Chains A and B, each alone.
Chain A
Amino acid sequence: MKKLFSELDLKYKLAIIAVLLGVVALFAGDPYNGTSVKVNVKDIALSTVKESDKINPTDLADWIIQGKADYVLVDLRTPDKYAEYTLPEAENIPLVELPNSDLLRNQKIILFSDDEVVAAQGWFILKAKKYNSVYILEGGLNGWKDKVVFPKVPANPTKDELAKFEKLRAVAQYFGGDLVTETSSSEIRKEIKLPTSTVAPQSTQPTTGSRKFTAPKKKKREGC
């Protein structure tokens, strides 16, 4: 038998090896099960959400405007609140359903809720399930509103600041908001209702400003 094998052409040897490996594979089981790892409770307890696991709302606003789509936005709040207002392209997965979600491990996942607490809980759940790139939105939706949609600026800005505010205003208007001066911030906040649509209407798109903006494109994931 051994002599017979060694006399064969290389291509037949390789074919036989391949078939043998294929036959063994019939009984070797599911490769996805082989990679399931037990959660180290201590590790998870010791790990905390680091600064590097947070996404700044201003950065996220830039990504959305540029149409960058290498991430998945997950809204952890209730469907009611999600219907009321959410971020562009965000998916709604309430926290209780997060453990059974069909999120993929190869995606960059950004979690958010009203503040950071629920997002951090979601972060722990996904980390425990061996998701590697999980991030939370810094300050949650409240932070988003304060920093992007209704950014506060001093009442009497200097010339240098004005240029900076132009950009802030352009971004804010893109998401249906505007600048809010510090002195009047509290009253204005009550008057202005957040826009219900997730993407700002065409008319509010900035026509001036130092940067050119493009509308968010249809979601396209990584790949060739």
Chain B
Amino acid sequence: MNAPFYKFGLFNTDVSLIFAFIIGIGFGFALERGGFGSARILAAQFYFSNMRVLKVMFTAIVTAMLGLYYLSVIGFVDLSLIYISETYILPQVIGGLILGIGFVIGGYCPGTSVVSFATGKLDGLMYILGVMFGIFIFGEIFPFITDFYYSTNMGSVTLPQFFHLSYGMVVFLVVVMAVGAFALAEWSEKKFAHRNPENQL
């Protein structure tokens, strides 16, 4: 038995949707437990007074990376079967900036807005409606930006391929980067503590 189970045909599309549902619930639970259901905590990230978003996300990246790396080194996971979305560098940079602006203004990202609404927060609901409105607008203007949307395609490129480094080296560098980021985050939380509204209450 090898992973990814779906690609090896262990279950069909219908069953995969059930698993997706369960994993989705688990993901939402983890986000809520991480404190990501609160727009205050999320927004504080951008004022460097509460670096929880960076810490949680980098922890998730490092955990997933180390797990996938070692599971595939021992031959349990076939990495070549895992889908890597293609890189369209320019449209993705623009899209990332728009998402970031929305993140600062609304205090949520799409996933965490659903989490906060699940706990009954009305700003979460407003955010979800805003996301849907944005999707509608995007759909309407898509015919005019189709060319841009598909421009600067780099294919399914990974960091080791792009930087011509070995996979192990990239794993090591990302871990070092994460640990450095954690240390920096702790420092900045102390330095900018006065900006945190929760400290002033």
Contact = CB atoms under 8 A, between A and B. Distances in A.
B80 A105 contact: yes
Contacts of B73: 28-29, 31, 34
A91 to B, nearest CB: 14
Interface string A113-133: 000000000000000001011
B167 A106 contact: no
Interface in A3-37: 11, 15, 18-19, 21-23, 25-32, 34-35
A160 interface: no
A28 B7 CA distance: 25
Contacts of B72: 31-32, 34-35
B9 A19 contact: no
A34 B74 contact: yes
Interface in B50-106: 62, 66, 68-70, 72-75, 77-83, 85-86
Contact of A15 (B77, B80, B150, B179): B179
A218 interface: yes
A18 B9 contact: no
Given A28-B168, A132-B81, A18 B69 contact: no
- Size bin of chain B's contact surface: 35 or more
B169 interface: yes
Interface stretch (B29-37, B122-130, B170-178): B170-178
Given A31-B72, A34-B73, A35-B78, A26 B83 contact: no
A32 to B, nearest CB: 6
Interface string A21-62: 111011111111011000000000000000000000000000
B187 interface: no
Nearest to B160: A30
B182 interface: yes
A32 B83 contact: no
Given A15-B179, A18-B62, A25 B83 contact: no
B12 interface: no
Interface in A182-224: 218, 221-224
Bin the interface of chain A by size: 20 to 34
A105 B82 CA distance: 8
Contacts of B82: 106
Nearest to B186: A11
A105 B72 CA distance: 15
A132 B83 contact: no
Contacts of B68: 31
Contacts of A132: 7-9, 81
Contacts of B171: 22, 25-26
Nearest to B73: A34
A1 interface: no
A35 B168 contact: no
B146 interface: yes
B156 to A, nearest CB: 7
Contacts of B80: 32, 35, 104-106, 130
Nearest to B77: A35
A28 B66 contact: no
25 contacts: A15-B179, A18-B62, A19-B175, A19-B179, A21-B66, A22-B66, A22-B171, A22-B175, A25-B69, A27-B168, A30-B167, A30-B168, A31-B73, A31-B79, A32-B167, A34-B72, A35-B75, A35-B78, A35-B79, A105-B80, A106-B82, A132-B8, A221-B83, A221-B85, A224-B85
Interface pairs A-B: 7 shortest CB-CB: A22-B175, A31-B72, A25-B171, A223-B85, A22-B172, A25-B168, A34-B73
